Structure 1
């Protein structure tokens, strides 16, 4: 197969990766299950990632951090395997993988790399693998680096401070230092938002901002894994640190001066057969089944004592799926079911017991005589579920058998079911022999979260929820039901509480908007880091975020302070007023201070106005940028699609309205005129001058007034207020830079 390298679009990098035999070898095998478009996309994105890394042959001290964003279960491992081959082709002799916080994830990564790059390869001695190496491996590592075949050393390591610090010591050893010199090393951090980030970021920032006795050297705390990663980076003078994650909220929002903060990014394209959140919660919402509130287990709020009916039904649907997909249609060799009830291990044991009892009970009944009443009742139960659920989403090309045809296969599915309780690191490390049975049921919680691959997962039963706000990145990482399931998608089901369904629908909108935003911006250095989010979700765990985080709601009124760029803003508003037809806003209130005009303009015009209108403080600049993003989202992606924005020229007959301002903070004390009963009409106040069908932007022309001597005193300016109707309410989170240039905003 001929593969052509695509030119890098990173104009600031001299490094231009080239395809070599290792990449060709790997992609020739990928071509057996990826089509040409998918191969081109994978190659282009791999090239994009590596072109933002350091040139390993440029023997100087250098380091970069690059963020790679995929979907959950979408093929991130394939991406960093491809990155490995391309990096090896371009001179990287050592590649390190921070392969998860649990041994099962480490083992999974090591086995996958070994299979894809060594076992299945036609190349000899191209790679040498070291898992969790200790100082005893230093001589062996040096010897491998000296081989004439120049293999690339692949070092997989548990994301734990002890192992990472030990690896740092290996790189500080004279033997490795002398052998490696300043050649480049690639560090790949899988699930980079987990454990890698500093768990003391928030408290450090809070102490620095609030404590007069805070000492930067003694009180600037670092979590152990974060500190060990910094230690490893410091031990390797020439390295690239590539973060892989499906939930980039943490890496995007950590302080921009943090040593792990990315400066560039790549958004991965999933394969054509990928089934993710959009598939389940938008395209085929009937695949998602609501668990009744009274059946949602919670170890404190609702500790059930009996098997909930929804769990029993989900098991029956699963057994029927195995009978249909595996035993009748022969689409796949096996299917699996995941039950994720609660992080409490005793709860997992309880659910494991319930499932085991049900399977054992059904096995016993199916061994009874055909005319036995117990068997008749069980057949009736399965038939009712089959007619309601199991054939609801069959593919058009499938022949749908009658219940009588598959009834014998139900017993086969039950008898061939293996039930696994996975609640410890040992449980998760034990390799499941997937092809030994046609049916596997996995019961557990945190051990089945991020990184753990449940092969051929068809049915998920997950009553787990939090009574407070969920973290967006955490709930997304529980979605083991995402993946490549087109062969049997119609037989998949996800059982969730109603609150979780709402959260996932909200997250889906947040994720798609975030990915669109990342795709449309080439550099993370040149944009404010903002994430739009539904009110029901937190963006990520609080402890990793800097104290100076900005969180505000895009709901209701927000007055803004345009006390800089006065002349420029005057020209922007004057041009806008001249080029858009304004009409009287009804009702009129018979005074020049209370009569207003309104224009309804296309969203593009509103975005153009906001782009040109300038602010001199971060909070308002961030809100402006977020509003632009929000308008782009509402006009294209949102279900509440809008095409226009309302602009209201306040007190259009008045030369200006007097407003007090604080010269120290450069904020207007009160922009809005309040409610008044003076005169013939009751004036409801400026806040009631709005429309509810779209975003409203009020244009305020005011004369600034202060008791202090200040250059702005008696200046006439234009500023704005923005109204976000309740129906469009969302929330955004952004990080405030330490050193923001207020005067030169573009």
Structure 2
């Protein structure tokens, strides 16, 4: 098709109109969805990029961020060599949807890079992936597409361990270099990290050659790389460079040696785009945005998508609802977590440092179950696939390699004894195995996750060979017998620590035993090797950990979901990371990242306008503390109801079993908030923060009056239903209501804290509203109606819950709260402020400090212009991208 073809001219005008509403790579996808011929699309992309190059030669793009930069990348085009080859390779191993996801996600990243025709650039971005979810595939696709557009030098910083560097180099050779060997020159190899090659001029002068360096974050190596680049600087002007920092939160941020060396490498490259990749970006998001060596992602932040098959933190552990989310739609977590009692934890890791040298781990009941389930589930996988595949179990108890080694003997003995007992058809062992199989498959039915059900008899046939095949591997830097997935199907129990928690993939991971002590967000998430894709065995993974650790991972699931929502908001609101900082929710017992990595962070501010805060967790164990908790809340509820009947007025319109008092003074609500206890797991319900917010709203004239409702049921027995009817609860003044039923999540059935997931019903927020003419409701509609009908008036909802509530649904378990007959749940509904400007209170979120990015403007003319010029030079050099 000729460029003078009239179809090109006509289509070009349409293409340019599309560009007014969407970035080029999305326009390309639109055209393909409309079945526009591929050769016509290729001509349009080519023309767009030619014109973009002309623009860049005439004028530098304005602004600090990608939103204001000249959009240039329109997606793959005809004549590309690297991406088509990698795409064909992917199509041989993945389904079409997975390949499309990688294609679209990498398009977004490349579109954020600088146009390689720019005479100079130095930009910083961050791509947030998911633990064990294909970050490498994404940046491999980005390398291919950037190479097809003219980027010449590709430096991949691949962690701090040799194993990960070798793994990354090997994958890039397989997925990039070997697919187009004439286009690439490897400066590093799997066996050898960076060694300065002679005659850099010859390497850099060949325009049809791309250079690939996979470099470990090691001071010696980085110094050599910096020195080599400095010596070749005269030849680098025509070599656009892409530096990809894998595990960008490790060593890059706030280290005395590695951090300045990476910055030094970047300074040698006159045209370079730095892109960090990590699944735990907390340190990167809290870096100093005006510090040139702090690697704050000042130009862009992107969050990679994940498929529905990915088992991540919220899939496995569940999470709390985010602002504006319907709690009923929030995942509650799969029933795959098994808690290790505290007394067993003491037998599985040394209590203090001085105990390490003499520590000998015990095969506790939980640990034994974990190993037996590993063998059972591995056998089940062989039944399903008809062959042996990689199958791994992780034991992560401590960071010290001596503790790792101490697990060798007890695991080998367990393997030997179990093999002998199985060969002798030991009745006790067979009963134990059958019961374990039936219990676990009953809790997580295979068919509910789309997997094929397997009987114990089928599994039993494969067990002897599975146990025989099992290797016990101590994987740490001193070990000579390391994990090896290249020599055929491996069935391994891997004991390790730091080397297994960064980047390395444990192939076919089924069972994880995790008793490592850590209270840092990024450290914990990176240790979660159990996150990822489990094709063909989505029902079989199990994680054994202490109860507190489980609660922490549930919190982390909420933190991660909220963080990604904030990142997406940057794109939706067309903000750059220098205009809006991503907030990270804190925890009273955990640290977001190492203190040295968050020195520049500041506390963020909270606003509850339009929010719903509700009880979700209730103490369910025996003991004086739980009893006091429920008694305290019952007293707080009764005091509020007494005050409501005294100082408010009762509205008789609600249905039987429900009560409503209007115009209750805000002071009574403040007292209730300060005395009623939300469980500590309800991280969005901090009493002090809520009280401070209400006080601040009251100071501005809002929330001075509230409505208070009780949402029970009709206490009269229903003759059409079996049973004796609800329990009766007497309210102050003699009113009686019936208890409501709330049950706990099945995955939570054995916990001493009951998780009911959702307290409020879909229309409960409208108790004090007239909704007769509203055909359907959701949270947005109810918020809008509240603004119209009850402006600046909050709502308290109180629920008398039957402590013995019985479950009737398969994904639910009996509430089973010991002690009280009635448990009181509470919810607070906050109206949006009139005028839309909410008040804020400092709260438990951290964010990067953007206050120094754009100095406050002044209309005063300075007396000494020379001094001002000097100050401006300093500020611009610190803040410029």
Q: What TM-score, normalized to structure 1?
A: 0.70
Q: 2 CA distance for matches of 1:323 and 1:112?
A: 30
Q: Alpha carbons of 1:699 and 1:318: their partners in 2 closer, same or farther (altered >3 Å)?
A: closer
Q: Alpha carbons of 1:640 and 1:227: their partners in 2 closer, same or farther (altered >3 Å)?
A: farther
CA offsets per residue over residues 491-527 of structure 1, 9 Å max, x none?
1111111111101111111111110111121221221
How far is the alpha carbon of 1:146 from its aligned partner? 4.5
- What is the match of residue 241 of structure 1? 274
- What is the match of residue 262 of structure 1? 297
CA offsets per residue over residues 606-645 of structure 1, 9 Å max, x none?
xxxxxxxxxxxxx99xx99xxxxxxxxxxxxx95777458
- What is the match of residue 186 of structure 2? 129
How far is the alpha carbon of 1:399 from its aligned partner? 5.8
Is the partner of 1:241 in helix, strand or coil? strand
Judge which range, 26-35 or 151-160, deviates more: 26-35
Residue 529 of structure 2 is aligned with which of 480, 488, 491?
480
- What is the match of residue 194 of structure 1? 250
Q: Alpha carbons of 1:384 and 1:277: their partners in 2 closer, same or farther (altered >3 Å)?
A: same
Q: 1 CA distance for matches of 2:454 and 2:378?
A: 14
Paired residues of 2:382 and 2:462 also in contact (CA < 8 A): no
CA offsets per residue over residues 131-166 of structure 1, 9 Å max, x none?
265554133x54444457x12111000011221121
Q: 2 CA distance for matches of 1:138 and 1:190?
A: 27
Q: 1 CA distance for matches of 2:240 and 2:451?
A: 53
How far is the alpha carbon of 1:647 from its aligned partner? 6.8
- What is the match of residue 719 of structure 2? none
Query: Pairwise mapping of residues 21-60 of structure 1 onto structure 2 (< 5 A)?
Result: 21-60=81-120
Matched, 1:293 2:351: no
Paired residues of 2:578 and 2:850 also in contact (CA < 8 A): no
Is the partner of 1:520 in helix, strand or coil? helix
Q: Alpha carbons of 1:114 and 1:510: their partners in 2 closer, same or farther (altered >3 Å)?
A: same
Q: Alpha carbons of 1:525 and 1:425: their partners in 2 closer, same or farther (altered >3 Å)?
A: farther
Query: Pairwise mapping of residues 466-545 of structure 1 onto structure 2 (< 5 A)?
Result: 466=518, 470-522=519-571, 523-545=576-598
Matched, 1:343 2:399: yes
Paired residues of 2:566 and 2:582 also in contact (CA < 8 A): no
Query: Pairwise mapping of residues 708-727 of structure 1 onto structure 2 (< 5 A)?
Result: none
Which runs of 5 or more structure 1 residues have no equivalent in the other structure? Answer: 200-222, 556-583, 601-618, 625-637, 651-690, 701-717, 725-729
How far is the alpha carbon of 1:364 from its aligned partner? 3.1
Q: 2 CA distance for matches of 1:330 and 1:693?
A: 53
Q: Alpha carbons of 1:401 and 1:451: their partners in 2 closer, same or farther (altered >3 Å)?
A: closer
Which runs of 5 or more structure 2 residues have no equivalent in the other structure? Answer: 1-31, 33-37, 50-64, 319-330, 609-642, 649-662, 670-691, 698-756, 766-778, 795-824, 859-881
Query: Pairwise mapping of residues 541-580 of structure 1 onto structure 2 (< 5 A)?
Result: 541-547=594-600, 549-550=602-603
Q: 2 CA distance for matches of 1:183 and 1:597?
A: 66
- What is the match of residue 733 of structure 1? 846
- What is the match of residue 318 of structure 1? 374
- What is the match of residue 445 of structure 1? 497
Matched, 1:69 2:128: yes
How far is the alpha carbon of 1:549 from its aligned partner? 2.5
How far is the alpha carbon of 1:550 from its aligned partner? 2.1
Q: Alpha carbons of 1:125 and 1:394: their partners in 2 closer, same or farther (altered >3 Å)?
A: farther
Q: Alpha carbons of 1:35 and 1:381: their partners in 2 closer, same or farther (altered >3 Å)?
A: closer
Is the partner of 1:298 in helix, strand or coil? coil
Q: Alpha carbons of 1:595 and 1:486: their partners in 2 closer, same or farther (altered >3 Å)?
A: closer
CA offsets per residue over residues 422-463 of structure 1, 9 Å max, x none?
1216659x5603553451111111111021110111111112
- What is the match of residue 170 of structure 2? 111
Paired residues of 2:382 and 2:389 also in contact (CA < 8 A): yes
Is the partner of 1:474 in helix, strand or coil? helix
Paired residues of 2:383 and 2:458 also in contact (CA < 8 A): no
Q: 2 CA distance for matches of 1:315 and 1:363?
A: 13
- What is the match of residue 484 of structure 2? 432
Q: What TM-score, normalized to structure 2?
A: 0.60
Paired residues of 1:320 and 1:390 also in contact (CA < 8 A): no
Q: Alpha carbons of 1:639 and 1:75: their partners in 2 closer, same or farther (altered >3 Å)?
A: farther
Matched, 1:97 2:156: yes
Q: 1 CA distance for matches of 2:529 and 2:368?
A: 21
Is the partner of 1:138 in helix, strand or coil? coil
Judge which range, 17-26 or 476-485, deviates more: 17-26
Q: 2 CA distance for matches of 1:405 and 1:70?
A: 38
Paired residues of 1:698 and 1:721 also in contact (CA < 8 A): no
Q: 1 CA distance for matches of 2:537 and 2:832?
A: 53
How far is the alpha carbon of 1:198 from its aligned partner? 1.4
Paired residues of 2:451 and 2:536 also in contact (CA < 8 A): no
Q: 2 CA distance for matches of 1:597 and 1:97?
A: 58
Q: Alpha carbons of 1:135 and 1:731: their partners in 2 closer, same or farther (altered >3 Å)?
A: same
Matched, 1:354 2:410: yes
Paired residues of 2:185 and 2:209 also in contact (CA < 8 A): yes
Q: Alpha carbons of 1:742 and 1:498: their partners in 2 closer, same or farther (altered >3 Å)?
A: farther
Alignment RMSD: 3.9
Q: 2 CA distance for matches of 1:395 and 1:224?
A: 50
Q: Alpha carbons of 1:253 and 1:67: their partners in 2 closer, same or farther (altered >3 Å)?
A: same
Matched, 1:281 2:311: no
Q: 2 CA distance for matches of 1:499 and 1:402?
A: 34
Judge which range, 342-351 or 249-258, deviates more: 342-351
Q: Alpha carbons of 1:394 and 1:439: their partners in 2 closer, same or farther (altered >3 Å)?
A: farther
CA offsets per residue over residues 317-360 of structure 1, 9 Å max, x none?
00011111124543762311111111122221222322111112
Q: 1 CA distance for matches of 2:84 and 2:266?
A: 30
- What is the match of residue 427 of structure 2? 376
Is the partner of 2:68 in helix, strand or coil? coil
Residue 362 of structure 2 is aligned with which of 306, 309, 332?
306
How far is the alpha carbon of 1:402 from its aligned partner? 4.1
Is the partner of 1:320 in helix, strand or coil? helix
- What is the match of residue 672 of structure 1? none
Q: 1 CA distance for matches of 2:315 and 2:833?
A: 42
Is the partner of 1:529 in helix, strand or coil? coil
Is the partner of 2:85 in helix, strand or coil? helix
Is the partner of 1:694 in helix, strand or coil? strand
Give aligned pairs, total. 580
Paired residues of 1:323 and 1:410 also in contact (CA < 8 A): yes
Q: 1 CA distance for matches of 2:431 and 2:97?
A: 48
Q: Alpha carbons of 1:647 and 1:33: their partners in 2 closer, same or farther (altered >3 Å)?
A: farther
Q: Alpha carbons of 1:134 and 1:115: their partners in 2 closer, same or farther (altered >3 Å)?
A: closer
Q: 1 CA distance for matches of 2:311 and 2:601?
A: 37
Q: 2 CA distance for matches of 1:535 and 1:696?
A: 24
- What is the match of residue 507 of structure 2? 455
Is the partner of 1:266 in helix, strand or coil? strand
